[in-house]
Amino acid sequence: MIPEEFEYKRAATLDEAISLMQSSGGEGKFLAGGHSLIPLMKLRLSEPGVLIDISRIPQINGITDQNGKVQVGAATTHAEVVSSDLIRRVCPVVAECAAEIGDPQVRNRGTMGGSLAHSDPSADYPAVMVALDAEIHLKGPGGWRAVKAGDFFQGMFTVDMAEDEIIAGIQLPPAQHAAYVKLHQRASHYAIVGIAAVLEMDGRTCTSARIGITGASTHAQRLTNVEAALAGKELTQANIDAAAAIADAGLEDVNSDIHASEAYRRAMVKVFTRRAIERAASR
C-alpha cells in the first residue's frame, strides 16, 4: 500500500519536463494519470527516485481537429476521449475503446499517453492505435519525432521511446468502419484478448484492412495475415470467417495464465477477430 520515498517535480512545459528528466540521474519517471505507475509503486514493484508530473502541461492536454485528423494531447483522460464529440465523429472506435478501459474512476484519471507509454500487454488502447496507424508524437532533448503506432510497441512493456523522451500527443486518422471488441478478464477487467479492426470499404468490398491485437502476446501488434486475407474481398460471412480463422497463426509468445491458457487465448483471438471485423463492417 505504501510506496518508497521519491522526489516530486511538476513540469510546466514539455522542455522543463525533459530537462527535469535529464537531471534526475536515471532515477526519474514521468507521472501522468498515475493509474499504472502508482499501483506498481504501492506494491513496490516500481521504485522511481523522482516523479516528474507532466499532467498539467497545457501543450499535452486537449483534443483538437487538425485538417480532418484528431490530435489528442497525451495527458487527455480516457473519460475525455469517451465524451469527445470530435472523436465520436471522426474516429468513434477510439471512444469505443476508451469506454472499455477499467471503470469510471480509472477513466477519469488515466491518460492516453500514459497507457501507450506503459504498454501493458493487456491494455486496450494499443490495439486501436496500431489498427488506426495512429502517429505518436514524441519530444526529446533532440527535438520532435513521430512514430507510427505499429513501430512504437516493441515488446513487453517496451516501446520505441528513450527515457528522456515524452509523448506529447497522438494523431488519429479518421475511420468509420472500425470497431474494438474485448474479452474481459473477470477480476481485473483488462483484456484477455482485444481486437481492433479498421476497414476501408467500397460498398461491401474491403479495399484494405488493419487489425490490431492486444492481450494475447507481449505487446500490441498487427495481424497482417488477416489484413491480407481481407484486402480486396467482399465481406461475406464466409470471407470474414476465413480471415478470422487464421488470426492466431502468426502470433508468437502467446500469454498463458490462470485466466486463459495459450490454447484458449489463441481460440479467442479468432473469435474476437471475427467479431471485430463483423462489427466494423456493419458500420
Partner 1 sequence: MANKVPITLKVNGAERSAEVQPRTLLVHFLREDLGLTGTHIGCDTTQCGACTILVDGKSAKSCTLFAVQADGADITTIEGVASDGDLHPVQEGFWEEHGLQCGYCTPGMIMSAIHLLNENKSPSEQEIREGISGNFCRCTGYQHIVNAIKYAANKG
Partner 2 sequence: MAIITPKMIGERVKRREDPRLIQGRATYVDDIKIAGMLHLAFRRSDIAHGIIKSIDVSAAQAMPGVELVITGAELKEFLPPMPIGTPFPSPDHYSVAVDRVRYQGEPVAVVVAADRYLARDAADAIEIEYEPLPAVIDPERAMTGEPAIVHEAFANNLAVPYVPGGTGFDPVAGTVDNTAVDKAFAEADFVLSQRMLNQRLAPTAMEPRGVVAHYEPGKEHLTIWSSTQNPHILKTFVAALTGTPDNQVRAIAPEVGGGFGCKINIYGEDYVAAALSKKLGKPLKWIEDRSEAFQATIHGRDILAYVDIAGKNDGRVTGLKIKLIADIGAYNMILTAAIPTLTMLMLNGTYDIPAIRAELTEVFTNKMPTDAYRGAGRPEGAYFVERAMDMVARHLNMDPAEVKRKNFIKADQFPFATQMGAVYDSGDYEKTLDLALKNAKWEELKAERDRMRADGRIVGIGLSFYVEVCGLGPSASLPTGGWEYSSVTVERSGKITATTGASPHGQGNETTFSQMLSDQFGIPMGDITILHGDTGVVKQGIGTFGSRSQAVGGTALLKAGEKVKDKMARFAAALLNPNEETDTSNMVFAEGRISFKDAPGQSVGFSDVAAYAYVPVPLPAGMEPGLSDQAFFEPANNTYPYGAHIAMLEIDRETGEPRLLKMLAVDDAGTIINPLIVEGQLHGGLAQGIGQAMIEEVVYDEDGQLITGSFMDYAIPRATDFPWFELDKTVTPTPVNPLGAKGVGEAGTLGSTPCIVNAAVDALSPFGVKHIDMMLRPEKLWRIINEGATG
Ligand X SMILES: Cc1cc2nc3c(=O)[nH]c(=O)nc-3n(C[C@H](O)[C@H](O)[C@H](O)COP(=O)(O)OP(=O)(O)OC[C@H]3O[C@@H](n4cnc5c(N)ncnc54)[C@H](O)[C@@H]3O)c2cc1C
Q: Would you tell me which residues interact with partner 1 (CB under 8 A)?
A: 1-8, 10, 31, 34-35, 38-39, 42-43, 51, 53, 55, 79, 102-106, 108-109, 188
CB nearer to partner 2: pick between 134 and 193: 193
Distance CA 10, CA 8 (A): 7
Q: How far apart are CA 273 and CA 277, in angstroms?
A: 6
Task: For ligand X, give the closer residue by CB, 24 or 36.
Answer: 36
Residue 118 interacts with which of ligand X, partner 1, partner 2, none, CB < 5 to 8 Å by class: ligand X
- Residue 263: name the closest of 273, 251, 276, 277 by CA: 251
1 binds partner 2 (CB under 8 A): yes
β-pairing, 7-10 with 50-53?
A: parallel
Q: Is 32 in the site for ligand X (CB under 6 A)?
A: yes
The alpha helices in 137-187, defined as continuous H runs, are 149-152
| Partner from partner 2, ligand X, partner 1, none contacting 74, C-beta within 5 to 8 A by type | ligand X
User: In Å, how far from its chain's centre is CA 146?
Assistant: 16
Tell me the C-alpha distance between 13 and 207, whole Å.
Answer: 42
98 binds ligand X (CB under 6 A): no
Angle at 82 between CA 126 and CA 116, to 5 degrees: 20
Grid cell, residue 253, equals 509468445
Select from 108-116, 195-203, 226-234, 256-264 the region that touches ligand X (CB under 6 A). Answer: 108-116
Contact assessment for residue 250 and residue 224, using Cβ atoms and an 8 Å cutoff: yes
104 binds, options partner 2, ligand X, partner 1, none, Cβ within 5 to 8 A by partner type: partner 1
The site map against partner 2 for 130-169 (x = CB under 8 A) is: ----------------------------------------
Closest CA to 121 of 80, 153, 166: 153
Q: At its nearest, how many Å lie between partner 2 and the CB of residue 265? A: 9
Residue 106 sits in the site that holds ligand X (CB under 6 A): yes
Whichever of 2 and 237 has its CB closer to ligand X, that residue is 2
Quote the strand ranges of 203-263, DSSP E: 205-214, 221-222, 233-234
Count of residues engaged in binding ligand X, rule: CB under 6 A:
30
Residues 119, 158 contacting (CB under 8 angstroms): yes
Looking at beta carbons only, is 5 or 85 nearer to partner 2?
Answer: 5
3-class secondary structure, 179: strand
The residue among 153 and 180 lying less far from partner 1, judged by its C-beta, is 180
Q: Which residues bind ligand X (CB under 6 A)?
A: 29-37, 39, 54, 74, 101-102, 106, 110-111, 113-115, 117-118, 120, 123-125, 166-167, 189-190
